Chain A
Amino acid sequence: MIFIEAGTRSLRTFDAQLIFADQLTARGFNVCIDAEYLPKDAGRGRVYDAAKFLVDPGEHEVERVFVLGAEEIDDFLLASLRQRQLPADVPVVATGRFETQQSYIGAKARLAYALGREATVLDLTDFQPRSMLPSAACPLVADIRPTARSAVEKPNVAVVLGSMELDAPETLSCLARMSNRSDYTLQLIVNGAQNKVINESPFHDLPTILYTDLSARILAKTTDVLVMFGHGVAGVRMAALAVELIATGGVAIDCTDDEAIVSSGAPALIGPKTPLALDGYLTGKILENLAGVAEQATKSQWLHSVDISRLEKAADLKPQKREPIRTAQRTVFFPTNGVGLGHAQRCAIIAKELPDDMAPIFAAFPSCVPLVRREGLDSIPLVQRTEVSANFNGNDILTYRRLGAALQENDRLVFDGGYVFDSVYRTILERNLSAVWIRRGLWPDGRSRPRMLQREAVFDKVIVPSEAFEELNDTYSYGDHVRNVGPIFRRVVQSGDERQGLRGRLAERFGREFDHLVVSMLGGGVASDRSAQLQAISGMLEDRSDCLHLVVTWPGSKVQPATFGWSNTHVVQTFEATTLCLAADLVISAAGYNSVLEILYNKIPAILIPQSAPYLDNQERRAQALADRDLCAIITEKEFMKLERTVSDCLDQGDLEVYRTALNKIELPEPGAAKAAEIIAEAKCRK
């Protein structure tokens, strides 16, 4: 392992470690960072960046040590180097920008005192006499790939606002106009303060990412034109981004007050000093000539000064080409877990429709793993989010690590969920995956659609499983990559004999003869507590001697202890909920996507009790669509007092028959699982 150390410990130097570690990894080296370096205030993005590098040094053999920012060396580094007692054959290479000969000699001496032997100290000013960011602790270098990028129809323009204040209202409104241009895609790269201003403004839907949201190397891959405002270059990450972008055939436009990029000798264009003039500059002068500008940049001598291979040579590093572990493309399904296990179930249904040679595997949370395995599909277990941990997204960092380990370049990831986690977003970009987003609709009111869709661009295909009724199929985004398919749900066939047999076994199992079997299925996923509703239903049915009431949940779901206190209510944890529903006379269900489709397509009379939570889909609209067609009864959140009467109408007043009749008559769209599988099989990486 190559250990990347830093002369001092700060956010600035940690960024430098991350940037350099990422670059060396991309060059085929095994690189790590001592976990002691992780700053307490690292912030979300840095923790993701760091997750793949941080190690306990005692657990890895040191092959080489690389010290960054050696112009300033503190005792932490020296103590750590001394304690490791590195064997004499482990090379130690340090880089720094030494303003004076004394600072060079001093650094060399201090390292020698700690090591008991000499280190190789490289003065970066020899490589880069004019650095884009002299305070950068890392070498601002890149893998030079001087071929111009292939022409893109709609270039991605990333604008770094730098030190710019956003107090002038016209700035944001101008950027908002630019974000709607059809000839380029705008992305703002902002700091935390700017992000806050934007979020609190009427322009909160502007496409923003933070400096730390992605590594400079990955950001450069997804950017065609980089525009930088403010005074100087906004920190080491943005400097690394500019270097990486230019080195890989992108176009940099220097709009900084002090022309910080151009003055370093980098082949950038000098652009307008205000964003108000940027759109005209881009559309009038740049976009049509992108290829030519990039071509010119590839001829610049400056590229030589940032060529990582020169540094590698000076450090006696020999880049290694990593061969892929597998030759066959792997397809991984990653269903998120919402209130229930609907995402996992939908993915399993689609996975089983895939061609035999694809052999997909799953990455699934513990609650979903049994369901997935039951379908004969293998699964990488993920770690459930916990409310106990102070680190609210700690589990997603683990997911990120596990997805990263399971997927290699050009594999395929199928994500089913509403919010695209950082783990998913980053893995797709970093592994250059062919990516498919299964995104069902009916988003709740009030959710910011642009925010939800901000990460859509990383997916090659978006599969939208439709609802049963057209008025429920909202459209959130457009394009050839968005593909609507029919409803996706689990089909279960049950004959009359099977139904009667099951009802008989239930009567025997629970010691109760019944005329009416009522199944309550209000969801039992990670977030929902439906105990009040279940208690009301159980209480209502307690005295009905003609009824058997089953509360059906997924195995492993939380069930409130009070549910077990009724003599005529029994909790059944099963994967065969649909089978029980088919055997029931009445199902009382939440109005989730899967439940409703199963009720509809299997023609099961039901009372729907839509659930509402900020992260849920709009169940009330879905339930209402059925109720409007007399396909079910509905009890909304505000109508809960209607429950007893509605149950009675169903069981005693013949309403069940009304619903059965309507269900038998209704025409429903063709199911979409096979089509979804076809789209996934054809998906190609377009990034």
Chain B
Amino acid sequence: MSALEAINCSVRPKIAYIIEPRFSGGTSVAVAAELRVAVDFGALEVHAITSRTFGENQSVAPALRQVLDELHIPLIWDAPRISADYVILHNPSFLKFNEALNTRIFARDLIVVTHENFLRPGGEEGFDVSGCLNQIEASSFVLRRTLAPISPHNRKTVNDWLDSSRLARQWRVRDTDWFNICHTDVSPPCEKPQDRRGRHSRPGFEKFPSLSDLDMCFPEHSQSNVILGADAMLNAGVLRAHWTLLPFDAISVDEFFGMIDFYVYFTAPTWQESFGRVVTEALAAGKVVLTNPETGANFGDGVLTCHPGDVDRVISDLVADPQRYHEQVSRSRKVLERYSAESFRAMLSNVLTADSGVMK
């Protein structure tokens, strides 16, 4: 199909996804869930870009592999050109180590979903945003370029970054979130909660708060403390007798949630989750989530926001009052429904019809 044909085709739009399929975390899971919805809106193509971020191998994230197999969509690696009505590029940060995007993009709409925050708390750049967006811009021949933030906080970082960038005029920003699709089925909470705490995340340093905060979150007097994804702590010999430290993938996430009643999640103050997929997983598992106000902002009253110094008090109150614990868990369903596949379908239908949702 020529570029002109792609732009003029209006019967069943052609939707091309551009992804780096080797992301191991939330991006791949989010894209996989999204493809199941998007397939109803048009003819899907999925293009993989081999970026320097992940080297030369072509090992696709399992969640993506599964969906592509189910949908019988071939994964096309490093196509020299992509033509479609809509091109949806997920997580531009995968280009951060590249010098150029060697794929030409022809489309009516180019939507770049900004999975990673453009700015870190404090205002420092999260990655070389200009470098990545410039590569996309230089390789794309499109009528409209849109940045699609995935959460309010993510949106704020995008807008703040654009405010100080000359690239602002090249990009529009969607005014509704291109959120991650999450499981909405909430497991029933335990009958009588105990002071069993835990957290899980990838092992990066950004995912963990300071040691003193960790000590407050997972103290000696709690019944158990399980930290999944503690590879860096294990490697550095940061051990406590009252901590169960497990490497990432040492046990399944279901097994992990079976070991805790409270999910206590704080990160380095110099980093923030752009969406907080781990939080939604804990909510769906029927756990009470304690996190910092910034991360919790995406989940309303579904999570309890506090500071590490308050964790003990919050947990002891809930352990003493199981009814309140159950009420807290019950708030999760409403929160998670905001991020359901149906909600996403509604959002996507707006995108794929007219200009709605794009800030002028």
Contacts and interface: CB of A to CB of B under 8 A. Distances in A.
Interface of A: 75-76, 78-80, 82-83, 85, 100-102, 105-106, 108-110, 112-118
Name the 8 nearest CB pairs between A and B, nearest first.
Answer: A79-B236, A112-B270, A102-B128, A113-B206, A113-B205, A102-B96, A101-B128, A113-B268
Interface in B209-253: 209-212, 232-233, 235-236, 238
B212 A85 contact: yes
A109 B97 contact: no
A80 to B, nearest CB: 7
Nearest to B99: A100
Contacts of A78: 205, 232
B211 A109 contact: no
Contact of B125 (A79, A85, A105): A105
Interface in B253-275: 268-271
Given A101-B128, A102-B131, A109-B126, A83 B238 contact: yes
B346 to A, nearest CB: 35
Contact of A79 (B96, B126, B128, B232): B232
A102 B232 contact: no
Contacts of A118: 122, 124, 270
B127 A105 contact: yes
A113 B128 contact: no
B174 to A, nearest CB: 25
Contact of A112 (B130, B233, B268): B268
B269 A116 contact: yes
A108 B271 CA distance: 12
Nearest to B123: A118
A102 B235 CA distance: 27
A131 to B, nearest CB: 21
A335 B252 CA distance: 68
B233 to A, nearest CB: 8
Interface in B280-314: none
B271 A113 contact: yes
Contacts of A79: 205, 232-233, 235-236, 238
B202 interface: no
Given A79-B233, A105-B127, 9 more contacts: A75-B205, A79-B205, A79-B235, A82-B210, A83-B238, A101-B130, A106-B127, A113-B206, A113-B268
A75 B270 contact: no
A115 B205 CA distance: 9
Contacts of A101: 128, 130-131
Contacts of A106: 96, 127
A112 B120 contact: yes
B268 A75 contact: no
Contacts of A76: 236
Contacts of B127: 102, 105-106, 109
B128 A105 contact: yes
B62 interface: no
Contacts of B233: 79
Contacts of B232: 75, 78-79
Contacts of A114: 205, 268
B236 A112 contact: no
B25 interface: no
Tell me if A's interface is mostly helix, strand, loop or mixed.
helix
B166 to A, nearest CB: 15
Nearest to A84: B211
B188 interface: no
Contacts of A113: 204-206, 268, 270-271
Nearest to B213: A116
Contacts of B211: 82-83, 85
A102 B97 contact: yes
Contacts of A105: 124-128
6 contacts: A79-B232, A79-B238, A101-B130, A105-B126, A105-B127, A113-B204
A113 B271 CA distance: 7
A285 B102 CA distance: 54
B125 A110 contact: no
Given A101-B131, A113-B270, A118-B122, A85 B210 contact: yes
Nearest to B207: A113
A109 B270 CA distance: 8
B226 to A, nearest CB: 20
Contacts of A102: 96-97, 127-128, 131
Contact of B210 (A80, A100, A110, A116): A116
A477 to B, nearest CB: 55
B91 to A, nearest CB: 14
Contact of B120 (A100, A109, A115): A109
**Which of A76, A78, A109, A114 gathers the greatest number of chain B CB atoms within 10 Å?**
A109
Given A116-B269, A117-B269, A80 B236 contact: yes
A531 to B, nearest CB: 51
A110 B205 contact: yes
Nearest to A112: B270
A112 B121 CA distance: 10
B349 to A, nearest CB: 36
Nearest to A117: B270
A100 B128 contact: yes
Interface in B64-121: 96-97, 120
A100 B208 CA distance: 27
A79 B205 CA distance: 8
Nearest to B231: A75
Given A78-B232, A80-B236, A83-B236, A116 B96 contact: no
Contacts of A85: 210-212
A110 B206 CA distance: 8
Contacts of B212: 85
A80 B232 CA distance: 11
Contact of A108 (B124, B204, B209, B210): B124
A115 B211 CA distance: 10
A646 B204 CA distance: 83
Contacts of A115: 270
A115 B208 CA distance: 11
B65 to A, nearest CB: 28
A113 B266 CA distance: 12
A113 B270 CA distance: 6
A75 B235 CA distance: 9
**Which of B96, B127, B204, B270 gathers the greatest number of chain A CB atoms within 10 Å?**
B270
A112 B97 contact: no
A8 to B, nearest CB: 15
B124 A112 contact: yes
A104 to B, nearest CB: 8
A77 to B, nearest CB: 10
A100 to B, nearest CB: 7
A80 B205 CA distance: 12
B223 to A, nearest CB: 26
